[in-house]
Amino acid sequence: MSKKDYYELLGISKGAAEDDIKKAYRKMAMKYHPDRNPDDKAAEEKFKEISQAYEVLSNKEKKAAYDQYGHDAFSGGGNGGFGFDQGFSSAADFTDIFNDIFGGGFGQGKRGAKARASGVRGSDLRYDLKITLEEAFKGINAPIRYSTNVKCKGCNGSGSEGATKPVQCNTCGGVGRVRSQQGFFTIERTCHICNGEGELIQNKCKKCGGHGRTREEVNISVTVPKGIEDGYSIRVNGKGEAGVRGGGNGDLYAYISIAPHKFFTRKGADIYCKVPVRMILATLGGEIKVPTINGTHAKIKVPAGTQTGDKLRLKEKGMPHMNSTNRTGDMYIQVNVETPVNLTDKQKELLKKFEDECNNNSSPQCESFFKKVKSFWSDIRSN
């Protein structure tokens, strides 16, 4: 490695302040960074030289040694030498020093100028999509409308008018972040000149004002599969906010909420329906007609002696299973036996006659319940 004077290399005078050393290095390093000068051996050599100079001058101990002994301070093994003639040999080694100072981001695979050029991905969006249970049963294509930032058609997202190209931000050197020293801490913050974009647009697109995006209303159709359940979300690829400077679009997530139904409640793929049944029909048995989720109806047999709370099953009259194309849930009729009201005198008369004909077998539940109550009372008395 060269033995050029470190101060000369950075274009500063001996005794320059810490900040001036940093500033000088920043300027030179930006100019000669290998990423900026691909396949340029001379630039790479220069980058190594200035980085080594900075490596020494930015370190208090090394700087003091250098100031006193010059290059001999680092000759290694020499008297008075510090022996830190570093093994740096490639520009890549110095890129780490460079990144340390500038907040990283130069060089491949790292955040920064190169990654920045490929843009920032747009945000994902959430859309609350209310559907009916019938729609969840059939599946639908739901048209939705929302406004978001889309790629500007005037500049195709570049932010620049016509063919003009953005220029690198000098303040942050295209990295988008700047660092400053405060006591022991190094504070890294977004460059306020370019707002972290690393580039400045010289000739702003008139349509978007240089943002590369415009706020537009978007109309799309969301495919809701049959059998979808409340609370699920459907991802629509690339329909979120547009990226910045060529970054990918975010996605749109349609969150499904299913409105309560007049008749039906749902548990997974099964549907429940509370149906009032006439007392006489529930007593003697018969058939009733019930609505079904497909918009038609079904007939179901009510066995003699059906009670309130009994469940009658209609096979495969429920919802499609969400993850299975050919399975369907069942429908359950929850019986609610209706006690007759608004009776005429004749009806009352008939029911009294009916009651006279009844025996203990007609109402076994009442019979057994009151037997239990009796024994409960006698137990209390005997205690």
- Does 358 count as an annotated binding residue? no
Query: Does 312 interact with Zn ion (rule: CB under 5 A)?
Result: no
Contact predicate 248/307, CB 8 Å: no
Binding segment for Zn ion among 49-57, 155-163, 272-280, 357-365 (CB under 5 A)? 155-163
Angle (CA) 125 129 135, round 5°: 145
Binding segment for Zn ion among 73-81, 137-145, 187-195, 259-267 (CB under 5 A)? 187-195
Gap between the Cα atoms of 88 and 45, Å rounded: 12
Query: Does 222 interact with Zn ion (rule: CB under 5 A)?
Result: no
| Bridge-based pairing state of the strands 311-314 and 331-338 | antiparallel
Contact residue for Zn ion among 91, 172, 252, 319 (CB under 5 A): 172
Which structure tokens are listed for 189?
């913050």
Place of tokens 């809701």: 224
Contact residue for Zn ion among 12, 73, 155, 252 (CB under 5 A): 155
Q: Which is nearer to Zn ion, 194 or 288 (CB)?
A: 194
Query: Does 27 interact with Zn ion (rule: CB under 5 A)?
Result: no
H and E: helices and strands count for the chain: 10, 15
Which residues have CB under 8 Å from 65's CB, separation 6+? 73, 74, 82
Q: Which is nearer to Zn ion, 167 or 279 (CB)?
A: 167
- Does 194 count as an annotated binding residue? yes
Q: Which is nearer to Zn ion, 57 or 172 (CB)?
A: 172
* Amino acid code (one letter) for 131: I
Query: Any idea what DSSP says for residue 204?
Result: B
Binding segment for Zn ion among 42-50, 208-216, 222-230, 304-312 (CB under 5 A)? 208-216
* Amino acid code (one letter) for 293: I
Contact residue for Zn ion among 194, 244, 258, 288 (CB under 5 A): 194
- Does 273 count as an annotated binding residue? no
Q: Which helix (H) or strand (E) holds 112?
A: none
Binding segment for Zn ion among 117-125, 197-205, 339-347, 362-370 (CB under 5 A)? 197-205
Size, binding site for Zn ion by CB under 5 A = 12
- Does 205 count as an annotated binding residue? yes
Binding mask 98-137 for Zn ion (x = CB under 5 A): ----------------------------------------
- Does 366 count as an annotated binding residue? no
Nearest CA among 159, 144, 146, 266 for reference residue 210: 159
Gap between the Cα atoms of 291 and 263, Å rounded: 8
- Nearest distance from C-beta of residue 91 to Zn ion, angstroms: 23
Q: Which is nearer to Zn ion, 56 or 155 (CB)?
A: 155
- Nearest distance from C-beta of residue 101 to Zn ion, angstroms: 15
Gap between the Cα atoms of 107 and 87, Å rounded: 20
- Nearest distance from C-beta of residue 193 to Zn ion, angstroms: 5
Q: What is the 3-state secondary structure (H, E, C) of 137-188?
A: HHCEEEEEEEEEEEECCCCCCCCECCCCCCEECCCCCCCCEEEEEECCEEEE
- Nearest distance from C-beta of residue 235 to Zn ion, angstroms: 28
Which residues have CB under 8 Å from 102's CB, separation 6+? 26, 172, 173, 175, 177, 178, 179
Binding segment for Zn ion among 135-143, 200-208, 246-254, 374-382 (CB under 5 A)? 200-208
Binding residues for Zn ion, rule: CB under 5 A, are 152, 154-155, 169, 171-172, 191, 193-194, 205, 207-208
For the annotated binding site for Zn(2+), the residues are: 152, 155, 169, 172, 191, 194, 205, 208
